[in-house]
Every structure is written in structure tokens, then in C-alpha cells.
């Protein structure tokens, strides 16, 4: 099994390579600079891995670099700028594809642009295989199985500790207009802009009430593809949105460390809440908790790529729950420290 990592010299890619190195798979690194690829391979402990140098705007070169791969993990953000080129090349190379994107409009564009081409080529594309979108998408499917058709689903992201990688900050800067405008909400069975958030606070499992703000996350795009639901919105802490709305210069991002230190990652905790209301008024909550968003993303992306490479997954551009068994995949993530649960709520 050959798994290729594109954008292989970045911070998130380094964690993906380290995770791949713990499995019995062949690894290929693809990027724009040979020296940086060599450094990345050495740091991840995969010095014998194949390395290919190509520009991402060279379609023929990128197809050649991906050819022979069973699956591709694309870590080359900002995805809004270059992600579609890698998806197109993976399809033409006959390689299944996942990425770690968190850019909502990019994700919608991948579904709109490549579904037919991927299906015709027999290739499976699962974008946004990261710590946030993939687990919440899977748990949303299980919530709907438990509660039936939903009138509303609200996904809340709460992250404590840690810091952001340069790649994450660059992706945020590249999509800041969409972030501050609120992006897409799924409302009245369609994705729409300009829909205000229905909720301004949430209650955590321990009873703490947090002020929240609307955030254009990727599961808003994936969940309605397999869950019968009228309205889906996503929230983050209001304090985080205030920080994101502040001015950030690209030069300042370049001066920062590549990403959080191992100690910062170890101390970070995340909680994702999925609050659903069905058409009879029954309220159900799903809870996902874990640590280390970047490390979790590496585990999620590698596990997803290995599942696709093993075969027996429908072709096309798919939401996570369309590609994988939700309960089985979530349960497999409990080994690395993620927990998930479903609870009935009081009306």
C-alpha cells in the first residue's frame, strides 16, 4: 500500500508522516523543494521514503508524482489556492484522496466540481478528514439514526490551550472574508449565505455557559448530504471569533514558530457538541472530546487514507459518513484518546 503526502514539508504533514511511519505502508513525499522534503522525511523517521518534486500548477508533473499511489493525503494549505489542483491530479492518477482542509467554501467547491469526475474514474475523495469535520460528521449520522429527521443541528467547537500552526493561520488569512461574513449555513434544505446564527451561547457538559459566534466550518457542508435536517449551523467561542477578526499580516505569520510545541499539543483539549432537535421536539446531544487537534488530525487523515486504499468504498466525492461506518470509525479513534457519546436532553 503506497500513501502519498502532498505539501509534505509543512507542520501538519510532519505529524501525518510520523503517523504513517508507525504503520506498514510505503510512503511518498511530494512538494516543491527537494531539500525541504529531505528534511521532512528525516524528521519523521521515513528517510527511505520516495520523494517527488513538482509544482502544484504543473498538472502533468503532479499527476506523474501521484501515479501509483493507492491514496493521497493532501496537507498543502491554504487549500482554497491549490487544493483543487491536487484533487484533479489525484483523480487523473487514479488515486483515492483525503485532505486536512478546514476551509468551508473550498470544500463546497470540491463537491460541486469533482463528484462526477471522481465517480467516473472510480476514485473516492473525502475532503476535510481532520479532527473537527470527520468526527462531527460521523456523530451527526448516529444522532440522526437515534432521533430521526431533524429540524435543527448545531455544532459547537470549544478548544482550550495550544496554539495555531503557520499553515492554519495562512488558511485563515486567505479566507478571512468568508469567516467574518459567516460563510454558508444549511437552511431550509439548501446552503445559503447571510443566515444569522440562531444561538449565541451554549451550555457545556459541566454546566458552564459560553458565549458563542457563528463559524463557517466544513461539517456544515458534509452533514446534510447524509442526514435529513432542515438547518445546520456551527459555532465557536465568541472570544475566538474576535481574535480572528483582528488584522494579521502575512509577514507576522512568517515570523512565528511552525506550530505548537509537543508540550503545547499535550496540554490542549477540545470539546465538540452536536445539539439536535427532531421533528417531534426531542433534543439529543452528541459529545466528542479529545486532546491535541493537530495530532488527532494526523491520526484521522491516515486512518481515512488507509481505509480508502484498502478498497470497498463507493467512488465520488463523499462526506465521511458516506465513506466509512460511523460507529466503527469513531470507536477506532477511542484508542488514540478521543471519546464520544450521545445523550437525551431535557426539552
CATH number of the domain within which 270 lies = 3.30.360
Give 337's DSSP letter. Answer: T
pLDDT tens digits for 253-307? Answer: 766 777 788 888 889 899 999 999 999 999 999 999 999 999 999 999 999 999 9
Same structural domain, 92 and 69:
yes
Same structural domain, 42 and 143:
no
Same structural domain, 340 and 197:
yes
- For residue 118, give the CATH number of its domain: 3.40.50.720
Distance from C-alpha of 80 to C-alpha of 101, rounded to nearest angstrom: 9
Same structural domain, 153 and 282:
yes
Same structural domain, 139 and 218:
yes
Outline where DSSP puts E strands in the chain.
2-6, 26-31, 50-53, 71-74, 96-99, 124-126, 150-160, 184-187, 190-193, 201-203, 209-214, 231-237, 269-278, 283-291, 316-317, 339-345
Same structural domain, 59 and 207:
no
| Non-local CB neighbours of 328 within 8 Å, separated by 6+ positions | none
Same structural domain, 114 and 225:
no
Burial class (CB in 10 A: 0-12, 13-18, 19+), 295: buried
Which regions of the chain are under pLDDT 70? 163, 166, 170, 172-176, 243-250, 252, 254-255, 347
Residue 238 sits in which domain range?
A: 133-293+327-344
Same structural domain, 287 and 151:
yes
> What pLDDT, on the 0 to 100 scale, is given for residue 263?
86
**Total tally of structural domains belonging to the chain:** 2
> What pLDDT, on the 0 to 100 scale, is given for residue 68?
98
Same structural domain, 75 and 112:
yes
Q: Are residues 82 and 110 in contact, defined by beta-carbon separation less than 8 angstroms?
A: no
Same structural domain, 149 and 289:
yes
> What pLDDT, on the 0 to 100 scale, is given for residue 346?
72
Same structural domain, 187 and 96:
no
Outline where DSSP puts E strands in 149-266.
150-160, 184-187, 190-193, 201-203, 209-214, 231-237
| β-pair partners for 229 | 150
Q: Record the cell numbers describing residue 8, joined without a space.
A: 509534505
Same structural domain, 248 and 305:
no
> What pLDDT, on the 0 to 100 scale, is given for residue 347?
66
| β-pair partners for 235 | 156, 214
> What pLDDT, on the 0 to 100 scale, is given for residue 15?
96
Q: Record the cell numbers describing residue 68, joined without a space.
A: 501509483
Amino acid at each position: 500500500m503506497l500513501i502519498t503526502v502532498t505539501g509534505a514539508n509543512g507542520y501538519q504533514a510532519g505529524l501525518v508522516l510520523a503517523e504513517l511511519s508507525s504503520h506498514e505502508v510505503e510512503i511518498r513525499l511530494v512538494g516543491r523543494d527537494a531539500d525541504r522534503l529531505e528534511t521532512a522525511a528525516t524528521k519523521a523517521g521515513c528517510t527511505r521514503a520516495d520523494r517527488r518534486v513538482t509544482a502544484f500548477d504543473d498538472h502533468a508533473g503532479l499527476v506523474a508524482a501521484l501515479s501509483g499511489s493507492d491514496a493521497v493525503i493532501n496537507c498543502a494549505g491554504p487549500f482554497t489556492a491549490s487544493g483543487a489542483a491536487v484533487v484533479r491530479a489525484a483523480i487523473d492518477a487514479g488515486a483515492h484522496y483525503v485532505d486536512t482542509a478546514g476551509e468551508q467554501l473550498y470544500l463546497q467547491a470540491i463537491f460541486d466540481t469533482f463528484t462526477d469526475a471522481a465517480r467516473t474514474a472510480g476514485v473516492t475523495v473525502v475532503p476535510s478528514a481532520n479532527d473537527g469535520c470527520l468526527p462531527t460528521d460521523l456523530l451527526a449520522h448516529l444522532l440522526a439514526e437515534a432521533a430521526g429527521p431533524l429540524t435543527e443541528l448545531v455544532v459547537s467547537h470549544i478548544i482550550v490551550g495550544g496554539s495555531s500552526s503557520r499553515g492554519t493561520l495562512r488558511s485563515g488569512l486567505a479566507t478571512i472574508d468568508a469567516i467574518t461574513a459567516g460563510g454558508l449555513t444549511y437552511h431550509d434544505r439548501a446552503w445559503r449565505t447571510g443566515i444569522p446564527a440562531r444561538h449565541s451561547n451554549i451550555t457545556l457538559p459541566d454546566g458552564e455557559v459560553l458565549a458563542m459566534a457563528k463559524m463557517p466550518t466544513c461539517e456544515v457542508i458534509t452533514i446534510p448530504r447524509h442526514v435529513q435536517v432542515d438547518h445546520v449551523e456551527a459555532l465557536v467561542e465568541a472570544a475566538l471569533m474576535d481574535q480572528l477578526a483582528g488584522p494579521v499580516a502575512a509577514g507576522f505569520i512568517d515570523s512565528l514558530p511552525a506550530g505548537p510545541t509537543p508540550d503545547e499539543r499535550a496540554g490542549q483539549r477540545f470539546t465538540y457538541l452536536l445539539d439536535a432537535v427532531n421533528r417531534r421536539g426531542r433534543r439529543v446531544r452528541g459529545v466528542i472530546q479529545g486532546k491535541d487537534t493537530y495530532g488527532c488530525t494526523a491520526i484521522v487523515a491516515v486512518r481515512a487514507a488507509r481505509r480508502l486504499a484498502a478498497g470497498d468504498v463507493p467512488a465520488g466525492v463523499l462526506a465521511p459518513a458516506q465513506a466509512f461506518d460511523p460507529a466503527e470509525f469513531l470507536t477506532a479513534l477511542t484508542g488514540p484518546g478521543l471519546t464520544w457519546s450521545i445523550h437525551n436532553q431535557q426539552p
